[in-house]
Structure 1
């Protein structure tokens, strides 16, 4: 029995394998249940991969009946999985291959599942943030921006739209839209004034503090210690009328021939020279005497200590002499009168004293305080007395300076040299100027690379009241600009940049001041004509003086407009600008090369060259006169009396007339005069002698007259013929501004 009991599992196993139909049915039912379960799981979690079908249990026998040695006695055979199509049976391994696909490595299902989970998480995060941003876009944008707007910002007089947007933490397009609502059209790179920026910022609840850009460009000079002050040479400006001997006097003092280098013997631009005499040093500024250089002479008076007024003893006080007196008095500078050309037989010193007394300049022997020194620059007479008077006046004035501080100076003259670049003549006012000093002058900055004295000699430093020519500028400054030495080159560059920014803003504001409606009215009325010019000169002072002189020629009818003024040779760009603006190029000691002249010829641009400015002014007057509207006057040519009146159907009223004086022309205008009053001003439609049309009827002859669009002629009316006469006007006939 025991053996039979032990063999029971064998019988059960064999029994279980005896019926293939029963096992296949169980496996098929189990597989259908598993497929249904997987389908339900796929609907709930579609992202999870399908799980391969597990092997069904080999038997449903209880655990107590587990066989001990089935593997040893009966090797396991691969079980067959029956699908609906029983004609194509597949093993479990083949089924897994179908589900996984070909070339799937072990563990690929797990990796693919993890990858799909990562992609799903990223998609969920993306959807979340996109939804969050879309919800934010749905909110009012101003509310979101306003929440981060600062309560207070600082700006200068002008601020760019983009910069203002950054300060307010607001998007630039929103700022531009606000400006459009305020009637201001501006792009992100354009600037608006502080007033507009303040109004716009107030809408966001932000207070604006305006910082003066001009104040940031100012430079505080160092204070002087009394112990550091020393006596310096006086700065003397020589002024006077044309050809009264100013340059000849300076030539005699310097013992050099400056006159020979000047065109026509007339000084064309300011020169600064230092003269060493036995009794001390004197710095001279030689300013031109012609009226064209009023601005240059005014600058000379601003930097000078003493004015030497040169008056020719044989000529007396002239218009430029009066201007020089005015400049000296405005600058509150003492005057020393040098009565020149006393060697001429017609010299009259007393007349000079009498003429100057009208301007409250009284000589010392007339009870005044102004020294009068009679001299002859040509004969070098009494030059020592003039020097004594200058040094005595300087001693009374106690002109001092501190050579230990950073240098300050004034631009006497500046130009663009082709070989050396921007060059400026500087008169040191205080301190000591040295090679290597970083400086700012006007809108330009730089570092001194080289210095030359008035004799052309290289120097390493220049003390107070010393004129020097410097190199190392970033650009050409204007005459009269102040030079300040800075601690570092970076500091000088920052101040120069701020000054240039301020200049750009100020220039833009000047353009905006021109009102469009006033401009259109002027154009429509055609009252003002423009003569446009481009000025090129050898030095900046000459360009400015010529610009000032030409602009003064403007009148109510013709305006001289200087489009551009610069130093250096004429370039092709200058010619193209003149062509576009229909302007004339006026040069002063500046030339154009052959290529530029060819371009000017092709473009039809006129280039006028001058070496003496008053010649340019005289030619400009003629050009302006050519633009003036001519004077139009009426000249009566003759009179005819109406003797008979005929009404002709289809023609109108024909008057039979007799010419009493002069002649009547068919082309002339006529007036109908009745009882001393003009009843019509018109023109003739027909003029006949008998049956013939004629162009003219002279005195004593009769004619038939038909007036255009007028039939109310009466016997006794006077028909007066007249013509308009144009007379070309001259420049002197208009009132200059």
Structure 2
């Protein structure tokens, strides 16, 4: 059960806690402090008490006050004849009072506003209240009726208990009265007997006492009779008062029950009543036409009398006051358009409104408001507008103005909501889908992901329409492993080539794609880099493969990139064949390698697992045939098939920009047949295949499934890892490529802007140095790997900013960009042309060439270390003891010191220690030895020291001298 404190409930009722505590105490709810909890039962008890105590008071009528303010401009000539613009502000106020049962709603007259006549039968009825409000009112009426019934039952029960208590009190009083009477009678009898005895004994002595006793007895009897009579009168009066009170309460309860039932009946009748339609008001254009027909041609012509004047007020069919104006209901105005249009008109001396609503053609005095009340426009009360919940379709990117238009609000409201969430935005800024959906939900609407007219929907039709019979295909095998574990050398032995010898630095920095014809069939190999910078390349290789050969050096074991390759293979859900290489080395340890692989959840078949382990040597060729046999065995188990006579579909393995051939892409055909002349769509680029080369550089006319080829003819360099497909129509391919490019650009821009605005406050206080660079590489994969590796070098003090990264040679445009951004140009396996070199030399732009990614990362790390602020360290050089203190009027306080250790220099800093506690740190002002200024004093000598800006020194203080040295920092 929910509960609130007395203070919270008082805040909800807009009362002070002290008043609420008094009311709770009167209602019988024991609450002593404002922190006490109130239950629903306590609130119901308080409600019953308040209704019982205020039930006879007529509730205050509810009022609705509508205030409207508008500002217009009029032009008026001044004394000099120049036209001036004057701001006119019009304020209108209407107050509507809730009507009683059976009485029409009459607005309360407000000062300064004309009276509104009651609505006629021809005018539109009040709009219906919504069903939720009607249900709430009916529930409230039922609840009040139930509360009145319970109060009546409690009142009857209280009345019965009160009558029983009164009966018991009366009976008790009667018994007490009887006992009192008996006691009085006994006392009177005893007195009488005593008096008689006295008379008998002493009759001659007291003859006058007998009459006195008789008088006292008569007086006592009269007093007793009077007391009894008064008690009867008092009881009768109290009974009559109680009867009157009970009758009043019963009448009050009957009246309240009747009102509650009548209100419930009225609500049910209102719910069952048919809805009535609002009658449209007279258009302002019609009024203007009537004025024109009446002969109004100038501004100073006297207008014709309105129809309300010519017709008799009491005649049937006479026009009502204000008939020539716009007619509105007596309810709340459903459209203020008429007033707005009227206020925008320029007021002139003549009748520009056609005589509508004017008592005379020049207007009456200011005080004659009664003339306009009859012609005041009547208002139409509008139904309370319920907050609409819109279903907003949010695309991947949307501008602030478009989002505001979809929600039917102003763009400033969306910007305000964004600023509340900590993001600054402009009206034309693009928002990503997640941010836009959060804004929609925050503003009370329902956000759904937009299903746009995506031209990519046609790509599935183009491929599925040409599906042919699936035939067996060659497996695609990716060779993965740590750097320098012999992946490329193993492929060289299989291909009988020397690819590894041609790699820069002896390491692979590209994805190499080859296919080899063996005795048992054809196998396509993908050789991935093992360096840590080429994570994305290895992930692409694992996604495009059927089988992974994991190469592990027998003398090195499992390394970080080996673990990463295992995770990529498991994520792609492809089988692994482990090749333990370099078994010909003397320090090879096969068991250690197997145990380390078992720890990585790669269990060999001999240990009960499902992963084949083959020991090979890329140098001698030992075990290579067994490795190929295991690969083909795995391929047979997988039953690899692909359609041949269909449109080609595959993956972009690598891409580059060749100076003579243009964009060149290395693709792996996964299904279908790729032919020269086909229209290819790859990511956000497209083109017609002009030339096709195999891995040996020989021209070929077609490529089937599992065959890697190099194609030319694309419009731009595609992204490595993009899927490609053959389209039947070049126009459709161009539309899809344009759509993808725009979507990618908008999404990237929205994320960049969000990141900039999020970091703007965090970077205001900290001084962060930035190293801007421009990267140009030979292939897409190398450019991506180099950019990611350099960005990882960023720290809190120095950040790497990749201004531009692309493939191809260094051109003059790249140098111009470097000049504008003050960036360093890095060329990876590319060179700058003659024009770019001259421009760079003339503007002092540094160009660095690299062919190994190690060198690029190391040199950039050194450059970033040079931008770091040096580290300041203190080095203690000596100490001295103050033995004498001299005070000179012109010089100040001078310390006579004895150097106890090390040495003291003129430029050294010092710490003053008193009782081994540092009390001051500063610099020396002068250092003297025998009245001579010296630069240094060694251990065992005395000297005079003047401290800079400090004189509070004593004999016995210690001085500790140190120097601050700056040490270069490293990343």
TM-score relative to the length of structure 1: 0.71
- Aligned residue number for residue 583 of structure 1: 823
Distance 1:136 1:452, change over 3 A: farther
Q: Residue 397 of structure 2 is aligned with which of 158, 161, 181?
A: 158
1:378-423 per-residue CA deviation (whole Å, 9 max, x = no partner) reads: 3333332221110100111222223344332111000111222111
- Aligned residue number for residue 537 of structure 2: 296
Distance 1:346 1:687, change over 3 A: closer
Q: Residue 611 of structure 1 is aligned with which of 851, 856, 862?
A: 851
Matches within 5 A, 1:208-247: 211-212=450-451, 217=456, 220=460, 228-247=469-488
Q: Residue 307 of structure 1 is aligned with which of 538, 544, 548?
A: 548
Q: Conserved in 1, the CA contact under 8 Å of 2:656 and 2:778?
A: yes
Distance 1:685 1:224, change over 3 A: same
Distance 1:516 1:160, change over 3 A: closer
Q: Conserved in 1, the CA contact under 8 Å of 2:432 and 2:751?
A: no
Query: Is 1:689 equivalent to 2:929 in the alignment?
Result: yes
Q: Conserved in 2, the CA contact under 8 Å of 1:176 and 1:186?
A: no
Distance 1:643 1:605, change over 3 A: same
Q: Residue 680 of structure 1 is aligned with which of 920, 923, 929?
A: 920
1:290-331 per-residue CA deviation (whole Å, 9 max, x = no partner) reads: 222222112111111111122233443333333322322332
Structure 1 segments unaligned to the other structure (5+ residues): 1-134, 141-150, 732-737
Per the TM alignment, residue 206 of structure 1 is displaced from its structure 2 partner at its CA by 12
Query: Is 1:286 equivalent to 2:527 in the alignment?
Result: yes
1:166-188 per-residue CA deviation (whole Å, 9 max, x = no partner) reads: x89x9xxx988888888877577
Q: Residue 389 of structure 1 is aligned with which of 618, 621, 630?
A: 630
Q: Residue 669 of structure 1 is aligned with which of 909, 927, 949?
A: 909
Query: Is 1:519 equivalent to 2:760 in the alignment?
Result: yes
Q: Report the RMSD for the aligned CA atoms in angstroms.
A: 3.9
In 1: Cα distance, 2:849 partner to 2:519 partner: 44
- Aligned residue number for residue 708 of structure 1: 948
Structure 2 segments unaligned to the other structure (5+ residues): 1-340, 347-389
Query: Is 1:316 equivalent to 2:533 in the alignment?
Result: no
Per the TM alignment, residue 543 of structure 1 is displaced from its structure 2 partner at its CA by 0.7
In 1: Cα distance, 2:574 partner to 2:436 partner: 46
Q: Which secondary structure state, in structure 2, belongs to the residue aligned with residue 720 of structure 1?
A: strand
- Aligned residue number for residue 721 of structure 2: 480
In 1: Cα distance, 2:662 partner to 2:466 partner: 38
Q: Which secondary structure state, in structure 2, belongs to the residue aligned with residue 288 of structure 1?
A: coil
Matches within 5 A, 1:187-206: 191=430
| Number of residue pairs the alignment of both structures matches | 587
1:533-554 per-residue CA deviation (whole Å, 9 max, x = no partner) reads: 2211111111111112222222
Q: Conserved in 1, the CA contact under 8 Å of 2:394 and 2:437?
A: no
- Aligned residue number for residue 646 of structure 1: 886
Per the TM alignment, residue 671 of structure 1 is displaced from its structure 2 partner at its CA by 0.7
Q: Conserved in 2, the CA contact under 8 Å of 1:531 and 1:583?
A: yes
Query: Is 1:540 equivalent to 2:780 in the alignment?
Result: yes
Per the TM alignment, residue 226 of structure 1 is displaced from its structure 2 partner at its CA by 11
In 1: Cα distance, 2:758 partner to 2:535 partner: 35
Q: Which secondary structure state, in structure 1, belongs to the residue aligned with residue 594 of structure 2?
A: helix
Query: Is 1:423 equivalent to 2:664 in the alignment?
Result: yes
- Aligned residue number for residue 559 of structure 1: 799
Distance 1:606 1:648, change over 3 A: same
In 2: Cα distance, 1:589 partner to 1:302 partner: 27
Per the TM alignment, residue 678 of structure 1 is displaced from its structure 2 partner at its CA by 0.7
Q: Which secondary structure state, in structure 2, belongs to the residue aligned with residue 376 of structure 1?
A: coil
In 2: Cα distance, 1:187 partner to 1:353 partner: 61
Distance 1:398 1:224, change over 3 A: farther
Matches within 5 A, 1:5-24: none
Q: Which secondary structure state, in structure 2, belongs to the residue aligned with residue 253 of structure 1?
A: helix
Q: Conserved in 1, the CA contact under 8 Å of 2:430 and 2:749?
A: no
In 2: Cα distance, 1:290 partner to 1:618 partner: 14
In 1: Cα distance, 2:920 partner to 2:713 partner: 77
Q: Conserved in 1, the CA contact under 8 Å of 2:397 and 2:746?
A: yes
TM-score relative to the length of structure 2: 0.55
Q: Conserved in 1, the CA contact under 8 Å of 2:774 and 2:805?
A: yes
Per the TM alignment, residue 725 of structure 1 is displaced from its structure 2 partner at its CA by 1.9
Distance 1:638 1:504, change over 3 A: same
Q: Residue 674 of structure 2 is aligned with which of 433, 444, 460?
A: 433
Query: Is 1:489 equivalent to 2:730 in the alignment?
Result: yes
Q: Conserved in 2, the CA contact under 8 Å of 1:240 and 1:320?
A: yes
Distance 1:164 1:597, change over 3 A: same
**Higher alpha-carbon deviation: 354-363 or 493-502:** 354-363
In 2: Cα distance, 1:442 partner to 1:400 partner: 25
1:612-634 per-residue CA deviation (whole Å, 9 max, x = no partner) reads: 21222222332233233333221
Higher relative CO (CA 8 A, sep ≥ 6), structure 1 or 2?
Answer: 1
1:263-286 per-residue CA deviation (whole Å, 9 max, x = no partner) reads: 233222111111122211111001
Q: Conserved in 1, the CA contact under 8 Å of 2:468 and 2:646?
A: no
Q: Residue 362 of structure 1 is aligned with which of 600, 603, 611?
A: 603
- Aligned residue number for residue 721 of structure 1: 961
In 2: Cα distance, 1:308 partner to 1:199 partner: 46
In 1: Cα distance, 2:568 partner to 2:917 partner: 59
Q: Which secondary structure state, in structure 1, belongs to the residue aligned with residue 747 of structure 2?
A: helix
In 2: Cα distance, 1:162 partner to 1:137 partner: 31
**Higher alpha-carbon deviation: 190-199 or 337-346:** 190-199
Per the TM alignment, residue 581 of structure 1 is displaced from its structure 2 partner at its CA by 2.5
In 2: Cα distance, 1:727 partner to 1:199 partner: 49
In 2: Cα distance, 1:597 partner to 1:362 partner: 56
- Aligned residue number for residue 569 of structure 1: 809
Q: Which secondary structure state, in structure 2, belongs to the residue aligned with residue 514 of structure 1?
A: helix
Q: Conserved in 1, the CA contact under 8 Å of 2:651 and 2:670?
A: yes
Distance 1:599 1:318, change over 3 A: same
Distance 1:159 1:329, change over 3 A: closer
In 2: Cα distance, 1:443 partner to 1:557 partner: 37
Q: Which secondary structure state, in structure 2, belongs to the residue aligned with residue 494 of structure 1?
A: helix
Q: Conserved in 1, the CA contact under 8 Å of 2:776 and 2:830?
A: yes
